[in-house]
Amino acid sequence: MNSLVELQDYLKCKDNSVKFFNHSEVPIVCQSEPCMLGVDEAGRGPVLGPMVYGIAYCPINQSKVLKSLGCADSKVLTEEKRDEILVNMLTKDEAVQNIGWAAEIISPNYISNSMYRRAKHSLNEVSMNSAIDLIKKVIELGANIQEVYVDTVGPPEKYQAKLSDIFPGIKITVAKKADSIYPIVSAASIVAKVTRDHALKVWQFREGLDLDYTQFGSGYPGDPLTKKFIRDQIDPVFGYPLLVRFSWSTAELMLQEKAITCTFEEIDDPTKKSPKCKAINTFFAPKLEGVKKRKKHKFFDERYLTIGNAFE
């Protein structure tokens, strides 16, 4: 992959109702030299579109390559500058030879279903699992990761302890605002943000809506275009298209206001016994109430025989 067009083509052909990976080849130097790896996300707060976790990694002694690309926190860069940096990361010889990257695109549908299922997964859990899976994936691909830097989700101390338990041989640093402190996290931030931006630009509505990204805005609840989309694109029975995180309060409130109220039957709990259902062993137990005990026939007494119960 060496252009944004190729990135868009890749995103367009994927199923946007699930989560999926995208990653570079592991540079040869990263397979032998000790590397540092950064982790960051984009799209945690929006009510529309995927959340994307990105990682970037390079040899510890090649941090100058990151600085030469201009890696900084993606939130303080313009969209054009972010695109430019990612294209350079994909095409410049020095960058291609020293920097690897990967991203996990987590669909709105996956996020909301995780938060609503019986064994609920909070957004923090979804985020941590994604970061862990990405680190594991590049290690499995052959990258020699020795240091990991992560922009925190929740209390940094707990997150760092969890990652240290999972990756005991790797130096782990979890910090607030890591994307503005460590260039390798800034590179990961750019991978995540650009991937999310282009995932929205090529979003395919499986519901048949003829809309493009200019008609639903940034996806953040405060965006007027996003508010209009949330208000207008609601089916009274089926709710929202897959672009919407229906577990977000913005969408939930609109569903309560405009959608038809549904009552679902209570799901049977397999661990709870029904009062109408008898246990199987009751069919073999003796019924003593109102039944006279029969006297043993003398045949048995004379021969000192007893009756055995085959079910005991």
Residue positions in the annotated binding site for a divalent metal cation?
A: 40-41, 151
Closest CA to 179 of 16, 18, 290, 42: 42
* Edge-to-edge strand ranges of the sheet holding 20-23: 20-23, 100-106, 51-59, 35-42, 145-151, 171-175
Beta pairing partners, 171 = 147
Binding-site residues, in ranges, read: 40-41, 151
Beta pairing partners, 39 = 55, 150
- Count of beta carbons in the 10 Å neighbourhood of residue 140: 8
Phi and psi at residue 288, in whole multiples of 5°?
Answer: -95, -25
Closest CA to 11 of 197, 182, 152: 197
H/E element, 39: strand 35-42
Cα of 231 vs its chain's centroid, Å:
26
User: 260: burial class by Cβ within 10 Å (0-12, 13-18, 19+)?
Assistant: exposed
